[in-house]
A and B are shown apart, each in its own frame.
Chain A
Amino acid sequence: MNPPDTNGSGRNAIEVRDLRRHFGPQEVLMGVNLDCPHRQITTVVGPSGCGKTVLLKHLNLLLRPDSGSILIDGLDVTKLGRRALDEVREKFGMLFQAGALFDSMSVFDNVAFPLVEKTHLSQSEIAEKVKEKLAAVGLEGMSHKFPSELSGGMQKRAALARALIRDPEILMLDEPTTGLDPTRTGSIHALIRHTQQRLGLSAVMVSHDVPQVFEVSDRVAFMHEGKIRLYGTVSEVMEANDEVFKSFLAGRARDEEAGAHAGAR
């Protein structure tokens, strides 16, 4: 219901405490507190510009905060050096907003990239793993194609296969359904949910696809003006009596109607 209490217990995959970050004169994160429990999907929603993508970039260690801490399996990662950070990153799989597939490489090479670069597996072992992951996301027989030859939804599937290739403990998803139509959005959501449950992953997702994204979330955090304003299970958040959250939901619904009208024209 309320933002989580601040005494970290180490029971969560990720715990964020009083995270602050500014860019120039602009304060983007103003004391963020967030818990992402093990083996659940925690979704951060909020209006664009509220700082949710910046928050995710702190969680995957691309940015360093001004102050505050991020505990990953109980380890504070905000002050680690380069090599130690790389060790923590081995636990992560990350799905970027537009997929971020390497466009000079085929789908196979993209998915195989983390294995080729970070492991000593033989070529046949790599090929087998890639085939298995591509099958899991429904892209059998696409391995020779290049990212530019795939549709948006297929690119996201390929990127998800790459994020999963090293069997991560924590999956991070940055707006996984941006730019997809409602049918594809549903199918990507279902794929994420299915994968998370099959592999028992802890996942943290940033999304503005409300309310659809709630169907695949265990916990929801509503971010507003650099802080987590609401946090809890989906039903707790939906029942919360918060004007800002309600107007955010209503605003999204209005946007979608406008989008549907624009689509009809």
Chain B
Amino acid sequence: MSKVIDAIALLGAAVIEGLISLGRFVIFLLTAALYIFEPPYKPRLAIRQMRIIGAESLFLVVLIAAFTGMVLGLQGYVTLSKFGSESALGTVVALTLVRELGPVLAALMVTARAGSAMAAELGSMQVTEQIDAMTVMAVNPVQYLVSPRLLAGVISFPLLTAIFDVVGILGGYLIGVGLMHGPSAAYFNGIQDNLGAHDIMSGFYKALVFGLVITWVCCYKGYHAARMAVGIGRATTEAVVLSSVLVLVWDYFLTSVLL
């Protein structure tokens, strides 16, 4: 009997523990978001973060986008030509990129590059007491460190995704039309006819959500890094893994809602 009660107590403790950390996680986001609207405003810090998250990720995003578009062009052309529908290539490439691959791949790339750096930087500030130092100087560290990153993430991600989409579509054209000699005019005409505002907006919403989720997770993990030698490394790993998983999970649910 007492063993059963012990097991229930253990389960209960685990659930409570989980709920507490989930609560902390949500409160962290809400406070950081509210501080964006509370003076003192720090546009300079947010712009600096946009440079790091956005501008400095540009080369990587363009590179990945070009190859993603090229492989889509190649696969698409080979498959479609079996059915004699090479003229649909533009539509296939554009819809795949705009609705799905653009937001997801851009988000994963930025997680690997900027998200990990964010978690490591905040983690090292936590471990070396720089965050405590800020608090003692009466400067709110969440407002100074997290809020600008959150704002920059939400602004940068949709822009990077838009660039990803455009470069990817051009990459598809390069292979499908340039290399495989598919019908040139049909590529862009198909996109014009079949890619609607709804498709573009659903990609935009995804990018917005991914931007929020990734900066949130990476800042949270870094900010709460454990004060020991492995703390920063562990925080960075957890941040990247959790961000990537959440991006794919959210992608499914957003797709099912936005379809």
Nearest chain A residue, comparing its CB with the CB of B124: A103
CA distance A8 to B137 in the complex (A): 27
Instruction: Say whether B137 contacts A114, CB under 8 Å.
Output: yes
Give a binary string over B120-159; 1 marks a CB under 8 Å from any A CB, 0 the rest.
0100110011101101111100001000000000000000
CA distance A200 to B52 in the complex (A): 44
Choose, from A24-32, A85-93, A210-218, the stretch at the interface.
A85-93
Instruction: Say whether A62 contacts B135, CB under 8 Å.
Output: yes
Total A-B pairs, Cβ < 8 A: 47
Instruction: Say whether A100 contacts B129, CB under 8 Å.
Output: yes
**Looking at the complex, which one of B130, B139, B144 makes contact with A103 (CB distance below 8 Å)?**
B130
**With a CB–CB cut-off of 8 A, which chain B residues contact A98?**
128-129
**With a CB–CB cut-off of 8 A, which chain A residues contact B137?**
89, 94, 113-114, 117-118
**With a CB–CB cut-off of 8 A, which chain A residues contact B136?**
60-62, 89, 92, 94
Does A185 sit at the interface, judged by CB under 8 A? no
Instruction: Say whether B138 contacts A96, CB under 8 Å.
Output: no
Nearest chain A residue, comparing its CB with the CB of B133: A100
Chain A CB within 10 Å, residue with most, of B40, B121, B129: B129
Give a binary string over B90-134; 1 marks a CB under 8 Å from any A CB, 0 the rest.
000000000000000000000000000000010011001110110
**With a CB–CB cut-off of 8 A, which chain A residues contact B132?**
57, 62, 96, 100
CA distance A94 to B121 in the complex (A): 22
**With a CB–CB cut-off of 8 A, which chain B residues contact A94?**
133, 136-137
CA distance A227 to B14 in the complex (A): 34
CA distance A97 to B127 in the complex (A): 12
Q: What count of chain A residues pass the 8 Å CB interface test?
A: 22
Instruction: Say whether A86 contacts B138, CB under 8 Å.
Output: yes
Instruction: Say whether B128 contacts A100, CB under 8 Å.
Output: yes
Does A102 sit at the interface, judged by CB under 8 A? yes
**With a CB–CB cut-off of 8 A, which chain B residues contact A96?**
129, 132-133
Nearest chain B residue, comparing its CB with the CB of A96: B129
Nearest chain B residue, comparing its CB with the CB of A98: B128
B125 vs chain A, min Cβ distance (A): 8
B130 vs chain A, min Cβ distance (A): 5
**Looking at the complex, which one of B40, B129, B138 makes contact with A97 (CB distance below 8 Å)?**
B129
CA distance A22 to B130 in the complex (A): 24
**With a CB–CB cut-off of 8 A, which chain A residues contact B139?**
113-114, 117-118
Within 8 A of B (CB), among A186-218: none
Nearest chain B residue, comparing its CB with the CB of A86: B138
**With a CB–CB cut-off of 8 A, which chain B residues contact A89?**
135-138
B253 vs chain A, min Cβ distance (A): 36
Within 8 A of B (CB), among A52-110: 57, 60-62, 86-87, 89-90, 92, 94, 96-98, 100-104
**With a CB–CB cut-off of 8 A, which chain A residues contact B135?**
62, 89
Instruction: Say whether B138 contacts A100, CB under 8 Å.
Output: no
Within 8 A of A (CB), among B190-246: none
CA distance A11 to B139 in the complex (A): 29
Nearest chain A residue, comparing its CB with the CB of B132: A62
**With a CB–CB cut-off of 8 A, which chain A residues contact B125?**
102
**With a CB–CB cut-off of 8 A, which chain B residues contact A92?**
136
B243 vs chain A, min Cβ distance (A): 22
Show the binding face of A for B, using Cβ within 8 Å.
57, 60-62, 86-87, 89-90, 92, 94, 96-98, 100-104, 113-114, 117-118
Which 6 residue pairs spanning A and B have beta carbons closest together? A100-B133, A86-B138, A100-B129, A89-B138, A94-B136, A96-B129
Other than A62-B136, A100-B133, A118-B139, give 8 A-B pairs with Cβ distance below 8 A.
A60-B136, A62-B132, A89-B135, A90-B138, A94-B137, A103-B124, A117-B144, A118-B138
A–B Cβ pairs within 8 angstroms, 22 of them: A60-B136, A61-B136, A62-B132, A62-B135, A86-B138, A89-B135, A89-B137, A90-B138, A92-B136, A94-B133, A94-B137, A97-B129, A98-B129, A100-B129, A100-B133, A102-B125, A104-B121, A113-B137, A114-B137, A114-B139, A117-B40, A118-B139
